[in-house]
Structure 1
Amino acid sequence: MPSSALTSADLATPKRENNYVNISAYKFITFDDTAEKRPEFIAKCEELNLKGTVLLTPEGINMFLAGLRHEIDAYMAWLHTDTRFADVVAKESLSDHQPFTKLLIKLKAEIITMRMPLIKPEDGRAPSVDAHTLKRWLDQGHDDNGKAVVMVDTRNDFEVDVGSFDNTIDYRITKFTEFPAVIAANRDALNDKTVVTFCTGGIRCEKAAIHMQNVGYESVYQLEGGILKYFEEVGGAHYHGDCFVFDYRTALNPQLQATDTTQCYACRAVVTPREQISPWYVEGKSCPHCQKMSVEKSTAETSV
Structure 2
Amino acid sequence: MSSAAHFVNIAAYKFVTLDKLEDLRPQYQALCNELGLKGTVLLTPEGINMFVSGTRAHIDDYLAWVRSDARLHDLEWKESFSAEQSHKRMLVKIKQEIITMRMPLIKPELGRAPSVDPKTLKRWLDAGHDDEGVPVVMMETRNAFEVDVGTFTNTLDYRIDKFTEFPEVAAAHKDELAGKTVVTFCTGGIRCEKAAIHMKEIGYERVYQLDGGILKYFEEVGGDHYTGDCFVFDYRTALNPKLEPTETVQCFACRAVVTPRQQLSPAYVYEVSCPHCVGADSHAGAAGVARDSAAG
Q: Say yes or no: TM over 0.5.
A: yes
1:256 paired residue number: 243
Q: Pick the aligned partner of 2:252 from 239, 248, 265.
A: 265
Equivalent residue in structure 2 for 1:97, among 75, 84, 87: 84
In 2, the alpha carbon distance for the partners of 1:166 and 1:256 equals 19
Structure 1 gap segments, 5+ residues each = 1-15, 298-304
Q: Which of 89, 107, 118 is the equivalent residue of 1:120?
A: 107
Deviation at 1:34, TM superposition (A): 1.1
Which of residues 9, 15, 28 is equivalent to 1:41?
28
Unaligned runs of 5+ in 2: 285-296
Deviation at 1:200, TM superposition (A): 0.1
User: Which structure has the bigger radius of gyration?
Assistant: 1
Amino acid at match of 2:87: F
Please identify runs of 4+ aligned residues in structure 1 that moved more than 6 A: 294-297
Distance 1:145 1:94 in 2: 38
Contact 2:215/2:243 (8 A) holds in 1? yes
| Distance 1:277-1:213 versus aligned 2 partners, 3 A rule | same
1:199 aligns with 2:199: no
Following superposition, the deviation at residue 270 of structure 1 comes to 0.1
Measure, in 1, the Cα distance between the counterparts of 2:11 and 2:241.
Answer: 16
What's 2:206 paired with? 219
CA shift, 1:293, in A, is 4.0
Question: What TM-score, normalized by structure 2, do the two folds share?
Answer: 0.94
> What is the aligned residue count?
283
What is the SS of the residue equivalent to 1:41?
Answer: helix
CA offsets per residue over residues 77-129 of structure 1, 9 Å max, x none? 00111010111111000000112111100000000000001100000000000
Does residue 1:286 correspond to 2:280, yes or no? Answer: no
**Residues 1-304 of structure 1 aligned to structure 2 (within 5 Å):** 17-293=4-280
Shift of residue 295, structure 1, vs aligned partner = 7.9
Give me the whole-angstrom Cα distance separating, in 1, the residues matched to 2:278 and 2:89: 30
Equivalents in 1 of 2:183, 2:283: separation in Å? 37
Q: Distance in 2 between matches of 1:274 and 1:140?
A: 34
Q: Which has the higher helix share?
A: 1
Give the deviation of 1:150 after TM superposition: 0.3
- CA shift, 1:35, in A, is 1.1
* Superposed CA offset, 1:250-277 (max 9, x none): 0000000000000000000000001011
Identical residues among aligned pairs (%): 67
Q: TM-score scaled to structure 1, two decimals?
A: 0.91
- Partner AA of 1:212 in structure 2: M
* C-alpha RMSD of matched pairs (Å): 1.5
